[in-house]
Chain A
Amino acid sequence: MGVAVRLSGVSKMFGGFAANSNISLSVEEGSIHALVGENGAGKSTLTKIIYGMHLPTSGEMVIQGEAVRFTSPRDAIEAGIGMVHQHFMLVPELSVTENIILGREHAWLFGSLPLKYAKARILKNSEDYGLAVDPDASVASLSIGEQQRVEILKLLFRQASIMIFDEPTAVLTPSETERLFATLRSLRDKGKTVILITHKLDEVLAVADTVSVMRKGEIVGTVPASSVTKPELARMMVGRSVLLRVINPPASPGETILNIKRLSFRSPKGEERLHDLTLTVRAGEIYGIAGVEGNGQGELLQALWGLAPEGSVISGEATLKGRSIIGKKPAEIALMGVSLTPENRLLHAVIREYTIAENLLFGRHREPAFHKGIGFESRTIKGYTDAMISDFDIKCSSPEHQPLSTLSGGNQQKVVLARELNRPGISLLILAQPARGVDIGAIETIHNKIIEARKSGIAILLVSSELEEIIGLSTRIGCLYKGSIRHEFSQEEVTLKRDALQEFEKEIGLHIT
């Protein structure tokens, strides 16, 4: 087998910052080569170099035995390299076939498109590689998984032999992920080279042949996937040993804080998204809601935070220490002692262009302690900011001037969690996907803080699609399926089954699908 991609001594500088330094890497032809590393480790810079989007500052690149110097992705495509971006590059209004031939129409400006010929080739490819898509469907009508298949078909249509996948599973459901992996394997078996960028270690071990680990712009090791374990990979990525499982001492829950009784939610379109959902969360416990996304998690959070869209109908009750929270506005609910860390951090929890200090205040800027005249009391805020930064180990250079968007995902989430956990008079904390897009190192801090908050007597409602996270943190677990809790695991059951992680995951899996 030849070498598909060989990099030697490749570096990329941005100003004085080395995003990649002295990278040497060879990717075997016909293999799945995973590139892992935390956010900011330089994975995307490296792939952008291979795909011709960045010109390396120094170093050499050899593609299939030929030294190359790409100045644009067009050169890379000519050399047989294709990329499936995290955000798909599709035109929703056009059909699958039109999208696939886009840029490769092989027709005169006003001539007719060779659609029939293209369709035949697409159908052949989709049969060969198990990529079922209707070539005539419009892309807008496809699911995310199907759109990804269109992207792969596009690469096959262009006869790419080296395919780069940038975080391909981030948007997929578990079953779609399985299906994608099967596709990747069949691509490899037919001689294609796959470069897989990810930070999910389970996926690497499940599908890759070889793993290269990146840290701080360098490749710290390349190993066969079969000879390495998850903790070893984590240690290579972070540079120190990481606890992948949080220490979760037994909880002794107190009075009921949140009481949800027969809650139903009908969307403006008339779909019933929640149906007679009943659960309670007590002080000093974490109630984990396990479930595949789209089973009513979003609607439950909207109902509890007063953001149900106009036209939706909510029935049943949800009370906080006996007082109803349905129909109240977010500011009123917060004032009752509820905190929320929304699922979509960048869109809902922070103002990206605001500084770290300003974001630590966001949503809490109405608290009189921070006020002075019509403005803010800068001394109190400075003290609070410094305390939060050291307490939550937020890694930043100047909190008063640095925009939040310059932080890594993990540090952004720490900002949100610090702010929400320290709300005065908090009795209920609602966490939605607290570890999504967060580095392994930061997950450890975040999970420890959540357990700490539980110990201090706060009631916590945890919504997550990561079963491992639910099992690791929760005191009790409710399995959400089609808008109601289908099964609930008691505290004893959870404590007992936690040690047999894989069986417990399977058991929960049965209740949520």
Chain B
Amino acid sequence: MNSKNLRLLIPVFSLLSALAVSSLIIALAGRDPLMIFQKMVHATLGTPYGIGQVIFRMTTLVLVALAVAIPFHLRLFNIGTEGQLLMGAFAAAMTGTILPANLPSLVAVTLCTLSAMAAGACWALLAGVLKVRFGVNEVIATIMLNFIAQGITGYLLTWHFAIPSTVHTARIMDNAIIPTFGSLTGWLANSPANLSTLLMAVVALLFWLLIFRSRFGYEMRAAGLQPEAARYGGINAEMHIFTAMSLGGAAAGLGAANIVLGYKHYYESGMTSGIGFTGIAVALLAGAHPLWILLSAFFFGCLEYGGLTVNAWIPKDIFMIIEALTILLVISFSATGKGLNKNHHL
């Protein structure tokens, strides 16, 4: 078997084995796995509303995964997507409340989206600066920045911007809302899927072009693969660290805008938690390839929303185990796959 087929088979194998393990756990919890899976498939893909929910979740997951994927090509591991999402979400909500109410919708949405992207980008760039200027490992820097982002948004929310006796900010102005597909065309009615999804598709395509087709990506991947050779080739690796982190952070910010401007219409404590980490798994499953990320995010979107829909039969905790086990299985399988590929070389 050649290595290309093998590489395509590995995700399939890993998903199948994840399915088998999940069935076992569901059976142990006293339920019929087939019934559960059937309910999940029906709830996610069987109704327009379910599909809309999956697409909405997938949109943020793709953008967060892109935030991990771009630095990944520079061999930087951006664990800080949680923090970048938080900062982006808070910035979008804040901008949405302070803009003058008579601003045209297009301008208002653009400004709110840009502020979310800028906040995410700055937060990620900080980790890049710490790496280049002070040699701080980006994993440590981004984890710490996650905590700081939690602190900042938590403090600002609780002490300054929360509506009394709630954990969310004031509603953003109507013109800053990104319309849902349902409100525009009636498709996927009542679901939170909104126009951000189109933007997400464009961004994924642009990132693919940037990484694999542009001179910028050529330099960036070279600097990631062999930093020493890049120096000899006259490539400014530090500049690439800055741009990759900022681009990633901006994508995460856009993912936050999908939730705030397209769905919740305010900032709420804990609204993004966990998505940042799932995004890392999405990126890893897709091998940090922007187009495969679409597929992998779709899968995780189904899993997340499907898990919610079967809550009545399977406790949420069991589903957390299943999701985490799936990620672990996928990662271990792809590691084995790499090992196999190596043995095929002479």
Contacts and interface: CB of A to CB of B under 8 A. Distances in A.
Chains A and B belong together in one complex: yes
Contacts of A363: 232-234
Nearest to B218: A365
Contacts of A376: 215, 218
Nearest to A17: B346
A385 B346 CA distance: 26
Contacts of A331: 234-235
B222 A366 contact: no
Contacts of B213: 375
B84 to A, nearest CB: 25
Nearest to A406: B345
Contacts of A347: 226, 228-229
A374 B232 contact: no
A265 interface: no
Interface residues of B, number: 21
Given A15-B344, A352-B225, A358 B218 contact: yes
A349 B229 CA distance: 6
Interface in B259-285: none
B215 A351 contact: no
Contacts of A329: 234
A19 B346 contact: yes
A349 B228 CA distance: 9
B270 to A, nearest CB: 40
A362 B221 CA distance: 12
A332 B231 CA distance: 12
B214 interface: yes
B216 interface: yes
Interface in B196-211: 209-210
Residue of B219, B233, B346 with most chain A CB atoms under a 10 A cut-off = B233
A376 B215 CA distance: 7
B225 A330 contact: no
B233 A330 contact: yes
Contacts of A340: 232
Residue of B210, B216, B229 with most chain A CB atoms under a 10 A cut-off = B229
B228 A351 contact: no
A379 interface: no
B73 to A, nearest CB: 12
Interface string A348-391: 11111110001001110110000100111000000000000000
A361 B222 CA distance: 12
Nearest to B231: A307
A187 B161 CA distance: 82
Residue of A19, A45, A332, A376 with most chain B CB atoms under a 10 A cut-off = A376
A307 B226 contact: no
A347 B233 CA distance: 11
A293 to B, nearest CB: 19
Nearest to A342: B232
Contacts of A354: 221-222, 225
Contacts of A108: none
A458 to B, nearest CB: 20
Contacts of A375: 209, 213-215
A330 B234 CA distance: 5
A350 B231 contact: no
Residue of B214, B215, B216, B231 with most chain A CB atoms under a 10 A cut-off = B215
Contacts of A350: 229
A330 B346 contact: no
A45 B221 CA distance: 32
B234 A351 contact: no
B124 to A, nearest CB: 22
A492 to B, nearest CB: 36
Contacts of B218: 358, 361, 365, 376
Interface in A291-346: 305, 307, 329-332, 334, 340, 342
Interface of B: 209-210, 213-216, 218-219, 221-222, 225-226, 228-229, 231-235, 344, 346
14 contacts: A17-B346, A331-B234, A332-B234, A340-B232, A347-B229, A351-B225, A352-B225, A353-B225, A354-B222, A358-B218, A362-B229, A363-B232, A366-B215, A374-B210
